[in-house]
């Protein structure tokens, strides 16, 4: 398998943004790396996990992002370098620790990577985590390319140690999942001896915290001076001397420069990479030779607000364009087309024409993501549907199984954030007369479900919880979690049994079902459904993709439909919803490339029309 270690020092590697971050970290002598997997951050942890044993790095997929950050903090307080990576909403989970951490301070360099997701490609919101740099008062770096991400992470460790505070490296999906050429250096083993200095107190008692806040603001003053000198903040000149300027960061810079080149525009682009604190002196001087300046940043007008305030304070008489002028949106990720239109309109008086406008296409069938053929979650949903006739309210949670919210299951009435299904189910069950059935995945159960389940017991909430246990964190690429019996390196690790936890909480009505044993699963759910008490059903069956990868072959014999026996009742398509079964003009067929041989369709066909493919 290719790893980020393979590139020899001085050579060029074709790295994903996330791999570049991982490579930068292992060249900075990290001793500890932590994460909770989440798109678009996952490959940072995955890349480090593959090579951590070779470099003596301790790596873990932590139970959640808060613990991930705290494990990193612990190692940092002992003087070692650490990196903790997470998706944007994961930072919310870690935020309780994060917002006081800069007061407390750190010792070994600590870099927090936030992978934001404009356009919600794989997320429940498109929150802008650049706010966290302001909220927590920490320096922030924003790369525009894998090569820059690699350089920035190395600088981030230096910066963190210089100021004794964590540094936020904020990327977006388009940086995380872009592959580009990176010239790499030498991987470096941690050469520091871990030592915790008990004389230095890391205690935020109120009297200490008050003093620490003042110290933190001083550090941010120093950080601004460093931002003014940073090579990550620089002017890129296109064409002739021009009264036009653009200030851009992150992916926005890429779209802006590609658009300016397309339009052959002469312009100076102030490319900002060290974006908190902003280099205010540099920005003021950039404005001096300009008549019009466009500010390009995806999502919130954070730089724009601060730059407009700066312009007003300093009496700068330049037309400023961006979100407040209505030329750019606070919504979704940008692209070259969006920037060509804004830049063309502002600086040239007209936008370029696009070919798409010339030729309209008829509507084509959509292809949204679906649960995989053989997915045990899909089978569980169908079993619940059969057992309950769908007559309940179904709070759902975050994972592959979120897709249970759509047809044919329609068993997701709420889906908010990690672990929320249980708490919401408690509130609903307290006030509603109809039954409430919550779903949660195994990894999510450990991540944020445990406190909510404790609350359900103590609060006397009468609801059913179905734990969809596929023995992995499937959505993000099959990472282990505390319930699996292996760690990140595939070594044996203690597995926490969900049933033991549930029992220890004092929940008596606990059942474990195998969704592939369909009739039995339906019976168990039905019996419990009629009881109307706090109950937990663990639906346990390994993720089909993982099982196939581990076996090196499909689950069983492929199935086929006997057209003579098929009564076209639709149970397999409209009930089970296996995507390997296609219905075209009322003819049902199993796609032999997609079928993985789980055999569930054979069990649920009421007419015995499905059997092993001959």
Partner 1 sequence: MTTNIFLAGVGGQGILSFARVLGELAMIKKVNVLIGETHGMAQRGGSVIATVRYGDVHSPIIARGKSDILVGFEPLEAARYAYMLSRTGIAIVNTEPIVPYSVSAMRTKYPPVQTLLKMIHDRGNVVVSLNATEIAEKVKFPLAANSVMLGAVAATAKIDAQLDEFRQAIRKTVPRKIKENLMAFDLGYEHAVRIISGKNPESIG
The helix (H) or strand (E) run that includes residue 275 is strand 274-276
Residue nearer to partner 1 on the CB measure, 366 or 433: 366
Asked if residue 592 binds partner 1 (CB under 8 A), the reply is no
Residue nearer to partner 1 on the CB measure, 266 or 336: 336
DSSP three-state, residue 448: helix
CA angle 551, 552, 557 (to 5 degrees): 80
Q: Judged by CB under 8 A, which of 224, 335, 413, 514 binds partner 1?
A: 335
Q: Judged by CB under 8 A, which of 203, 205, 359, 431 binds partner 1?
A: 359
Asked if residue 234 binds partner 1 (CB under 8 A), the reply is no
The strand pair at 319-321 and 274-276 is best described as unpaired
Q: Which of residues 392-411 bind partner 1 (CB under 8 A)?
A: 400, 403, 407-408
Residue owning tokens 């949106």: 329
Q: Which stretch binds partner 1 (CB under 8 A): 98-106, 153-161, 253-261, 510-518?
A: 253-261
Asked if residue 371 binds partner 1 (CB under 8 A), the reply is yes
Q: Judged by CB under 8 A, which of 81, 177, 323, 559 binds partner 1?
A: 177
Residue nearer to partner 1 on the CB measure, 16 or 293: 16
Asked if residue 577 binds partner 1 (CB under 8 A), the reply is yes
Let me know: does 15 contact 173? Beta carbons within 8 Å: no
Please state, in angstroms and as integers, the Cα–Cα distance from residue 533 to each residue in 35, 319, 397, 465, 469, following that order.
36, 65, 21, 10, 21
Q: Which of residues 108-167 bind partner 1 (CB under 8 A)?
A: 121-122, 144-145
The count of residues interacting with partner 1 (CB under 8 A) is 63
Asked if residue 257 binds partner 1 (CB under 8 A), the reply is yes
Asked if residue 366 binds partner 1 (CB under 8 A), the reply is yes
Q: Judged by CB under 8 A, which of 364, 431, 492, 564 binds partner 1?
A: 364
C-alpha of 90 from chain center:
7
Let me know: does 110 contact 82? Beta carbons within 8 Å: yes
Q: Judged by CB under 8 A, which of 51, 384, 425, 475 binds partner 1?
A: 475
Least Å from the CB of residue 585 to partner 1: 7
Residue nearer to partner 1 on the CB measure, 231 or 368: 368
Cis amide leading into 349 (omega within 30): no
Least Å from the CB of residue 419 to partner 1: 19
Asked if residue 261 binds partner 1 (CB under 8 A), the reply is yes
Asked if residue 585 binds partner 1 (CB under 8 A), the reply is yes
Residue nearer to partner 1 on the CB measure, 309 or 331: 331
Task: Spell out where 450-502 has E strands.
Answer: 464-469
Q: Which stretch binds partner 1 (CB under 8 A): 50-58, 102-110, 329-337, 506-514?
A: 329-337
Estimate the crossing angle of helix 450-458 against helix 420-431, to 10 degrees.
Answer: 20
Closest among 371, 454, 376, 458 to 406, alpha carbons compared: 371
**For the sheet containing 234-238, what is the strand order?**
234-238, 267-272, 244-249, 292-296, 319-321
**N- to C-terminal Cα distance for the chain?**
36
Please state, in angstroms and as integers, the Cα–Cα distance from residue 398 to each residue in 100, 110, 199, following that order.
27, 28, 43
Distance from C-alpha of 269 to C-alpha of 73, rounded to nearest angstrom: 37
Please state, in angstroms and as integers, the Cα–Cα distance from residue 125 to each residue in 89, 121, 414, 565, following that order.
8, 9, 14, 47
Least Å from the CB of residue 40 to partner 1: 7
Please state, in angstroms and as integers, the Cα–Cα distance from residue 477 to each residue in 46, 147, 261, 470, 472, following that order.
9, 24, 38, 13, 9
C-alpha of 458 from chain center:
32
Q: Which stretch binds partner 1 (CB under 8 A): 172-180, 208-216, 427-435, 487-495?
A: 172-180
Residue nearer to partner 1 on the CB measure, 95 or 123: 123
Least Å from the CB of residue 343 to partner 1: 13
The strand pair at 167-172 and 110-116 is best described as parallel
Residue nearer to partner 1 on the CB measure, 53 or 579: 579
Residue nearer to partner 1 on the CB measure, 42 or 420: 42
CA angle 262, 236, 304 (to 5 degrees): 90
Least Å from the CB of residue 590 to partner 1: 11
Q: Positive or negative, the Cα torsion across 13, 16, 19, 23?
A: positive
Q: Which stretch binds partner 1 (CB under 8 A): 9-17, 78-86, 281-289, 531-539?
A: 9-17
Least Å from the CB of residue 284 to partner 1: 26
Least Å from the CB of residue 231 to partner 1: 18
Burial 126-142 (b: 16+ CB within 10 A, else e): bbbbbebbeebbbbbbb
Q: Which stretch binds partner 1 (CB under 8 A): 40-48, 73-81, 296-304, 444-452?
A: 40-48
Asked if residue 70 binds partner 1 (CB under 8 A), the reply is no
The DSSP secondary-structure symbol of 245 reads E
Residue nearer to partner 1 on the CB measure, 62 or 145: 145
Q: Please, which residues bridge with residue 511 across strands?
A: 537
Residue nearer to partner 1 on the CB measure, 19 or 528: 19
Residue nearer to partner 1 on the CB measure, 408 or 427: 408
Residue nearer to partner 1 on the CB measure, 170 or 219: 170
Radius of gyration of the chain (CA): 27
DSSP three-state, residue 384: helix
Binding stretches for partner 1 (CB under 8 A): 12, 14, 16, 39-40, 42-43, 121-122, 144-145, 174, 177-181, 251, 253-255, 257-258, 261-262, 335-337, 340, 354-356, 359, 361-362, 364-372, 400, 403, 407-408, 475-476, 573-574, 577, 579, 581-586, 591, 593-594
């Amino acid at each position: 398998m290719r790893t980020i270690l393979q590139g020899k020092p001085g050579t060029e590697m074709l790295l994903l943004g996330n791999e570049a971050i991982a490579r930068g970290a292992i060249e900075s002598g990290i001793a500890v790396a932590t994460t909770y997997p989440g798109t678009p951050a996952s490959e940072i942890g995955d890349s480090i996990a593959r090579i951590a044993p070779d470099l003596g790095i301790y790596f873990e997929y932590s139970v959640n992002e808060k613990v991930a950050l705290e494990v990193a903090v612990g190692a940092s307080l002992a003087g070692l370098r650490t990196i903790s990576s997470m998706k944007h909403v994961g930072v919310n989970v870690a935020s309780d620790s994060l917002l006081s951490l800069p007061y407390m301070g750190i010792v070994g360099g600590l870099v927090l990577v936030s992978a934001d997701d404009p356009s919600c490609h794989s997320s429940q919101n498109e929150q802008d985590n650049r706010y966290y740099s302001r909220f927590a008062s920490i320096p922030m770096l924003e790369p525009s390319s894998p090569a820059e991400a690699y350089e920035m992470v190395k600088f981030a460790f230096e910066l963190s140690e210089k100021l004794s505070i964590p540094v936020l490296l904020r990327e977006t999906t388009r940086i995380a999942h872009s592959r580009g050429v990176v010239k790499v250096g030498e991987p470096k083993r941690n050469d520091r001896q871990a030592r915790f200095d008990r004389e230095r107190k890391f205690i935020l008692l109120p009297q200490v915290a008050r003093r620490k806040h003042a110290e933190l603001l001083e550090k941010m003053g120093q950080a601004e001076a460093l931002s003014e000198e940073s090579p990550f903040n620089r002017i890129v000149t296109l064409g002739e001397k021009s009264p036009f300027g653009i200030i851009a960061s992150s992916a926005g810079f890429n779209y802006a420069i590609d658009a300016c080149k397309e339009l052959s525009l002469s312009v100076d682009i102030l490319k900002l990479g060290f974006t908190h604190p902003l280099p205010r002196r540099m920005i003021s001087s950039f404005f001096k030779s300009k008549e019009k300046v466009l500010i390009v940043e995806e999502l919130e007008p954070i730089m724009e607000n601060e730059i407009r305030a700066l312009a007003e304070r300093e009496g700068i008489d330049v037309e400023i364009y961006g979100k407040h002028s209505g030329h750019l949106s606070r919504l979704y990720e940008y692209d070259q087309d969006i920037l060509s239109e804004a830049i063309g309109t502002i600086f040239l008086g007209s936008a370029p024409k696009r070919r798409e406008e010339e030729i309209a296409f008829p509507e084509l069938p959509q292809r949204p993501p679906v649960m995989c053929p053989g997915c045990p979650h899909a089978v569980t949903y169908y079993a619940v549907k059969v057992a309950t006739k769908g007559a309940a309210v179904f709070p759902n949670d975050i994972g592959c199984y979120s897709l249970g919210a759509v047809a044919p299951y329609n068993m997701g009435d709420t889906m908010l954030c990690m672990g929320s299904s249980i708490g919401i189910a408690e509130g609903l069950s307290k006030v509603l007369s109809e039954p409430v059935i919550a779903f949660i995945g195994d990894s999510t159960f450990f991540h944020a479900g445990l406190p909510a389940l404790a609350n359900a017991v103590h609060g006397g909430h009468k609801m059913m919880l179905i734990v969809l246990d596929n023995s992995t964190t499937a959505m993000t690429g099959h990472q282990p979690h505390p319930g699996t019996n292996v760690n990140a390196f595939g070594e044996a690790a203690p597995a926490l049994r969900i049933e033991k936890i549930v029992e220890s909480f004092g929940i008596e009505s606990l059942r474990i079902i195998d969704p592939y044993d369909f009739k039995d699963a339906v019976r168990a759910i039905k019996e419990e459904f009629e009881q109307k008490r706090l109950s937990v059903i663990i639906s346990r069956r390994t993720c089909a993709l993982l099982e196939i990868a581990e076996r090196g072959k499909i689950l069983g014999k492929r199935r086929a439909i006997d057209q003579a026996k098929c009564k076209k009742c639709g149970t397999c398509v409209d009930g089970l919803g296996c995507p390997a079964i296609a219905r075209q003009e009322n003819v049902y067929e199993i796609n032999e490339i997609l079928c993985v041989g789980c055999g569930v369709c054979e069990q649920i066909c009421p007419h015995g029309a499905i059997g092993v493919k001959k």
